[in-house]
Amino acid sequence: MQLAHFRLYGKIVSQYEPVLTKGYYHGRTEAMRTATEKAATFCRTWLNPHATDEEKLKSLREATVYHSARIKDALMGKGIERHLFALKCIADKNNIPTPDFFSSKAYQKLNHTILSTSNCGNPSLRLFGFGPVVQDGFGIGYIIRDDGLQYSISSKHRQTKRFAHTLKQTLIDMGKLLQPLSSLKVECSATVKPDLAKETAEYLEAYCDTYGEGPQSSDLLRSRSPAVSFDEPLAATPRTASAGFARVLQKQSSISLKRLSSFGIDITPLEGNRKKLVEE
């Protein structure tokens, strides 16, 4: 979100993210200021036309690691902003003079939050959002779902739709450089099915060689799974059937091919690369 604003307006602005402190009695929130030095470096590097992809990803990782550490500090009650705000409120309520720090230019700029952002961790909500906290700011509520991110962006006098389009394009550009993670789904059964001939070829690649359970037979694997080729024969070491077995149901990218193609990524069909995948 900071990168999208920097991309659109060319400057780093004060950004606020609340962190829950419910681990403490009467704990509510602490503030995490996202506009860190690492984040500023990341924004400038990402938009530098001379920066390489490796440099962009490195700056993103460093900013993320630093951001996560500050989130953890706030979560553990090591933040300072709520403490300072409480002291100021007590002073104002009791007509006690406050130090010059609270009227300094730095403190005033810090609390003029242009990007007020907050994550709602409940994926059952359809929408989540709020208004900006300053006249020239944005209020951004977002939900992290299993299949994507959902944003609700509002402002009083800013180009809200233009910022939303810039944020979307920024996420797409970042996705082009990030490699999707692979996922492995495994099903476990309490008993062994003794008749391997009834097992489909989809399961035979994992049966008997993933966990070493049940009798092993390379001939049976070849006969029932013709799509899988082996350069070296499997070790035929018969074993007694155990009390359980595992079957690999699906091994695929966590992002669909259609989603990847929208990022401009060309995916080679599995049939054209099957032998290489088996060898690996």
Q: Mind listing the pLDDT tens digit for each residue in 16-49?
A: 999 999 888 988 999 999 999 999 999 999 999 9
Report the distance separating Cα 28 and Cα 19, nearest Å.
8
Lowest mean pLDDT among 54-63, 103-112, 229-238, 252-261: 229-238
pLDDT at 126: 85
pLDDT at 101: 92
Lowest mean pLDDT among 151-155, 162-166, 239-243: 239-243
Neighbour tally for 65: CB within 10 Å: 11
Mean pLDDT of 104-117: 94
Confidence of residue 70 (pLDDT cuts 50, 70, 90): very high
Domain spans of the chain, in order of start: 2-177, 182-279
Work out the percent of the chain whose per-residue pLDDT is above 70.
Answer: 64
Apex 279 CA angle, 278 and 280, nearest 5: 90
**Running DSSP on this structure, what letter comes out for residue 277?**
H
pLDDT at 239: 44
CATH (residue range 2-177): 3.30.559.10
Report the distance separating Cα 218 and Cα 209, nearest Å.
10
Confidence of residue 167 (pLDDT cuts 50, 70, 90): very high
Supply the pTM of this predicted model.
0.63
Digit-coded pLDDT (tens) for 180-213: 655 555 665 555 444 544 444 443 334 343 434 4
Cβ 83 vs Cβ 94: under 8 Å: no
The overall average pLDDT reported for the chain is: 76
Q: List, in sequence order, every residue forming a beta bridge with 99; answer none if it has no partner.
A: none
pLDDT at 186: 60
Residue 67 reports pLDDT greater than 90: yes
**Sign of the CA dihedral with 32 first, then 37, 38, and 43 last:** positive
Residue 176 reports pLDDT greater than 80: yes
pLDDT at 7: 95
